[in-house]
A and B are shown apart, each in its own frame.
Chain A
Amino acid sequence: EDQVTQSPEALRLQEGESSSLNCSYTVSGLRGLFWYRQDPGKGPEFLFTLYSAGEEKEKERLKATLTKKESFLHITAPKPEDSATYLCAGTIQGAQKLVFGQGTRLTINP
């Protein structure tokens, strides 16, 4: 079964304390790996798409990387406004949907 698993479920950091969120996937024929940010009560907001192992994308304090089995979202020197739930999703060849992980709830304390 195609599956996307995120860890940890929740992460609490101090402002400026860098860390990484993990997304592992067991999907056959992965076509794309997506990262979204979701604030409480709002729709997911697109961050990155990664298509092949070794690819990296960056945006402000966030960097997403992809290997053959997993993706990481690295957050460098985070600020309180980076607090949100981060969702990972994969799409496979022939399927008309994104398969989402459960998300990591990130809290940055000032």
Chain B
Amino acid sequence: EAQVTQNPRYLITVTGKKLTVTCSQNMNHEYMSWYRQDPGLGLRQIYYSMNVEVTDKGDVPEGYKVSRKEKRNFPLILESPSPNQTSLYFCASSLWGSYGYTFGSGTRLTVV
């Protein structure tokens, strides 16, 4: 089954404790992206990747890092999480950046 898999689904952490949210896709898509979803603000792009070793900032990249060492994986790293990063995070993949996305099931992150 074609899918984007994120882990974990839920995460509660403390301020400053580094964490990684994993994302993997099995569709051989070139393009992958991370979004966060907040009430009243909708879905906003954090980072995206056009291919292996090619990443770029989206609209809200502050406090986040990404890497793309393999085509199928695109982890999101929060090196020093803060409470304002409490949000619902989605990974998405696509054939290319302007095409329709396939989204993962989401990771609900709470930073206390």
Query: Chain A residues with Cβ under 8 A from B40's Cβ?
Result: 102
Query: Chain B residues with Cβ under 8 A from A44's Cβ?
Result: 43, 90, 101, 103
The answer to whether A78 has its CB under 8 Å from any CB of chain B is: no
Scoring A residues 85 to 99 as 1 if CB is less than 8 Å from chain B, else 0, what string do you get? 001010111011110
Q: Smallest CB-CB separation from B9: which chain A residue? A: A41
For chain A residues 42-56, which have a beta carbon within 8 Å of chain B?
42-46, 49
Return B104 CB to nearest CB of chain A, in Å. Answer: 5
Q: How far apart sit A32 and B56, CA to CA, in the bound complex (Å)?
A: 22
Query: Chain A residues with Cβ under 8 A from B59's Cβ?
Result: 97
Query: Chain B residues with Cβ under 8 A from A87's Cβ?
Result: 42-43
Known: A43-B90, A101-B42, A102-B42. A95 touches B97 (CB 8 A): yes
Q: How far apart sit A43 and B90, CA to CA, in the bound complex (Å)?
A: 7
Q: How far apart sit A49 and B100, CA to CA, in the bound complex (Å)?
A: 7
The answer to whether A72 has its CB under 8 Å from any CB of chain B is: no
Q: How far apart sit A89 and B90, CA to CA, in the bound complex (Å)?
A: 15
Known: A41-B106, A42-B105, A44-B90. A31 touches B98 (CB 8 A): yes
Q: Smallest CB-CB separation from B105: which chain A residue? A: A43
Query: Chain A residues with Cβ under 8 A from B108's Cβ?
Result: 41
